[in-house]
Structures are given as C-alpha cells and as structure tokens.
Amino acid sequence: MTIATPATPEEARSQIVNMVREFVRRDVDPVADKLDREDIVPHDLIDKMKELGLFGITVPEEYGGLGLDYTTFATIFEELSKGLMSITGAIGTHHILTYVLTHYGTEEQKKRFLPDLASGRKRGGLALTEPGGGSDVAGMETTAVKDGEEYVINGSKMFITNGRYGDTFCLLAKTDRSAQPPHRGISCFVAQKGSPGFRVGRDLDKLGYRGLDTCELIFEDYRVPVENLVGGEEGRGFGYVMSGLETGRINVAARAVGVAQAAFEAAIRYSQQRETFGVPISQHQAIQLKLADMATKIQAARLLTYDAAAKKDRGDRVDLESGMAKLFASEVCGEVTMEAMRVHGGYGFIKESPVERYYRDAPLMIIGEGTNEVMRLLIARQLLQRPEYQV
C-alpha cells in the first residue's frame, strides 16, 4: 500500500502518521516481544514498511520518494519506536545514505541510486564507525587509493546497521592520509555488495536493539568505480556525512521519545491496576511524583526534538539543536525506562514485561549516533562560537 499525494503538508503528515500508527498496532505490537527475545530480523515487517514508502520518507518525489518534511520524519520514528525500536534501524541509517545522495550526489548518482533506495528495492546503511575508532571519525584507517577508473578500498567498519541484509552503503574512507586537518582527506563512496573484496564479518549479539542485523563489514582490495565517489570530488565526505548525522540525531531523539512514551504508558496503566494497602498504587504519592516527572521530561524531550526538526525544515543548520535533542531525549529515555521498571516492581524485571525491553533498548540512543559525552563537547563548541556569547 502506498500513500496518495495529499493536498497540504499537514494532511500528508496526518495521513502517514495514522498509517504508521495502525501498522504498529496491527502488525508490530503482537510480535515485538518474540522478535526481541529470539533476535529475529522481521523481513515481513520490513516489506510492509517498504509498501508504506518509509524507505523514501524525505527523498524528493522526482526520485521516487515521498518528499516529506523532517517533522513528519521524526513523528514516524517516534511512532515506530513505541512498538519496537529496532524496526526503525532498517530505515535510520538507510536515510543517511539517501540524504547524502539527495543533497551532495551528482544528478547521475541521484537518478542511478535514489529510486531503488526510496522504494526499498535496495536497502542502505552507513559504513562509518571503525573497530578502533569509535567517535574519532577523522582518525579512521580505511583507505581508498585511486587506480585508473576505480578506487581500491581496504579497511573494516564496525556496528553497521543493515550490515547483513543491506546491499548499498555510504562508505567513508581516506583518499589523502596526509591531509591536515585529517577530516579533509576523507571521501564518501557508494559501496555495493556483489563485487570481490566486500564481505560481511560477524553478527553482533547486542544487549538491546535486537531483531536487527548489526555487523562488521570488511573491505579487502574492494574496487568501486570513480562514478561512485559522491559528488565526484575527493575530500568532502566528512562534511557530507556530518550534515547527514544532523538528521540522524533527530531520528535517534525521536526514537528515544517513542521508547520513553511507551514505558510511561505501561507504567501509568500498571499503577492503576496494581493495588497495595487496599488502593491502586497510583494513589500513593511516591508513585504520583514519579509519573509527573516522567511525563514532564518526555514532553520536554519531544519539544526539543520537534524544534530541531522544524529548523531543519526551514533549511537552517541544526547541529546544535539536533545534538541537544539527541542528548536530552536519550538521557530522559534512560531515566524514564528505569522509573517505569520501578513502578512495576518485580514484574518490571522479568522478561514477560515490555518495560524490561524498553530498559535494554534505551542505552542504544545514549551511545548511538555519537555518544552523549561527544554530544556535550559538540554542543559546547557550537555555543562558544556563537557571536552572542563572545567576550
């Protein structure tokens, strides 16, 4: 099922959000616990997400996407995460590839790659993090050496979402190891499976974020044509991907809001059903204080997230705002999922309770798309550069 073109952006947002919400209620909620428990990649749900157009949320319509705004984008990630946060991974880093191509790819690259990515015929990912690098992106060791009409790539990438079942990746590699500062020597390529030298390493067994393929990618004399150098220019890849990560942090913040909201709803429902000392525990002041703090923090996180999305929709630079949203929303998610477990007491600690899953999923948002320690540094640096704070 695809989405008919609505008359206004508001109608478009309402239509797709309602469809996503119904998809979660009908198809995701009944199987979420099983997918998490058995670490099953839900190919059937991913196929339904393709039918909904979710692989091309912000891809322009001329290239086969929905061409929707980032506020709608964030809302979709929030709604999906209320059901099972892991299914957002199938479209999260996929979106960063489509973002980079949409904004920085040549016209030929857009026409060649975006239609298949927007439809989900091709499933994308971001090959950025390295085993020994973590958040030190500029210090990456993967290299791309030009050889005639090809680049020869050697190196490995770690923690790659869609690594097993994806087939098209936004790959960063150093084309100039002597560049200063080092990030100016990093280039961006579209790397596709099917050629010698590109293989998937081990699958990673994770605490949470289960039911999604997360792998190591290994490149050994892997050759890509020069036509796959994004934008046709070396040394620009770091900037391309950092811009893409602004939207990545919006989606991670929205995921955190969704998981926190699901945990809060589970807690407030349980508090009205569980009785102690002859009354529902929701009547105890200690529980009421928890519920009030949880709801207030979630709303604050939501407003930060949608403020960043709205500024992105206006075309503004949002590295500060998206960093703040990701930092605050993910920390709130960690707090709220723990509080939800406390409201449930012993029942929150056992596998049959969904709050146990929410609690295990929460750290992904704190660590992913740049650790929160790095987020704080980036936020501080941005603030110190602002004219209004200069002395």
Q: Kindly list the catalytic residues.
A: 369
Q: What is the Cα–Cα distance from 206 to 252, expressed in whole angstroms?
A: 17
- Judged by DSSP in three states, 127 sits in strand
Given a contact cutoff of 8 angstroms between Cβ atoms, the answer to whether 250 and 308 are in contact is yes
Q: What is the Cα–Cα distance from 314 to 316, expressed in whole angstroms?
A: 6
Contacts by residues 335-342 (CB-CB < 8 Å, ≥ 24 positions apart): 335/294, 335/297, 336/260, 336/263, 336/264, 336/294, 336/297, 336/298, 337/259, 337/260, 337/263, 337/361, 337/362, 339/263, 339/267, 339/290, 339/293, 339/294, 340/263, 340/264, 340/266, 340/267, 340/294, 342/290
Q: What is the Cα–Cα distance from 96 to 329, expressed in whole angstroms?
A: 20
Q: What is the Cα–Cα distance from 63 to 61, expressed in whole angstroms?
A: 5
Torsion angle in degrees (nearest 10) through CA of 288, 289, 291, 293 = 160
- Judged by DSSP in three states, 249 sits in helix
Task: For residue 132, give the nearest of 212, 210, 216 by alpha carbon.
Answer: 216
Given a contact cutoff of 8 angstroms between Cβ atoms, the answer to whether 314 and 241 are in contact is no
